[in-house]
Amino acid sequence: MICAALLHDAIEDQGISAAMIAGLFGPSVATMVVEVTDDKALPKTERKVIQIAVAPNLSPGAKLIRLADKISNVRSVAASPPVDWSQERCIDYIVFCRKVVAGLRGVDAALEGMFDQAADAAHEVVNGRGGIMTEPKPKPKPKPKPAPEMLTESELAALRQDAKEASDFGQKAFAHLRPSPI
């Protein structure tokens, strides 16, 4: 699992193939990496909706990796947010992470508690009460936001089924790389 955690962004950010990961680290590592890989060909808003929808159906190992990644990400938003992110965008991202983690719950209570503490602290920091962002940026006049696209229950069920099938496919696709018993 440690290898999969270290490689969790390798496919989407580095262009490394799942087959290469499987060949170097084994099929179970490749399967977990595939499970937590976002399809960068999709728009960011769609990737976020999918990440929330499939979270409950990830394998336990993939859930742990996703949970640890969200802990790291909310801590980063609090400590050193991207320079082009507004206060509102930082808050929106923390809210998104909370939605993803809601679907991961039940895999590791200690990590879930760490996420909750990190997300709460990040909210405080971003809101200007935590000492890192001591001078909150002035709020621009709010622009009307379009209504978010909501998925129907049948669309959510289809996404969850797709995630399960992707996980099953990954396990089957890389099964030939498993070492044979001696």
Predicted pLDDT of residue 60 = 94
Length of the chain: 182
Q: Work out the angle between the directed axes of helices 109-126 and 87-104 (0-180°, nearest 10).
A: 170
Cα–Cα distance for residue pair 142/125, rounded to 1 Å: 21
Averaged pLDDT, groups of 10, the chain, 182 residues long: 85 88 91 91 92 95 95 94 91 95 95 95 81 45 57 68 65 56 50
Contacts of 79 (CB under 8 A, 6+ apart): 125, 132
Predicted pLDDT of residue 128 = 80
pTM flag (> 0.85): no
Predicted pLDDT of residue 150 = 62
- Chain segment 126-161, per-residue pLDDT in tens: 888 544 443 344 455 566 555 555 666 776 666 667
Predicted pLDDT of residue 154 = 75
Predicted pLDDT of residue 48 = 94
Structural domains of the chain sorted by starting position, each given as residue range(s) with its CATH number in brackets: 2-137+147-177 (1.10.3210.10)
Contacts of 124 (CB under 8 A, 6+ apart): 130
Active site residue 9: no
Indicate which residue of 12, 108, 116, 162 is catalytic.
12
Active site residue 12: yes
Token digits of residue 40 = 């960068």
- 3-class secondary structure per residue, 47-107: HHHHHHHHHHHCCHHHHHHHHHHHHHHHHHHHHCCCCCCCHHHHHHHHHHHHHHHHHHCCC
Cα–Cα distance for residue pair 21/160, rounded to 1 Å: 25
Query: What amino acid occupies position 43?
Result: P
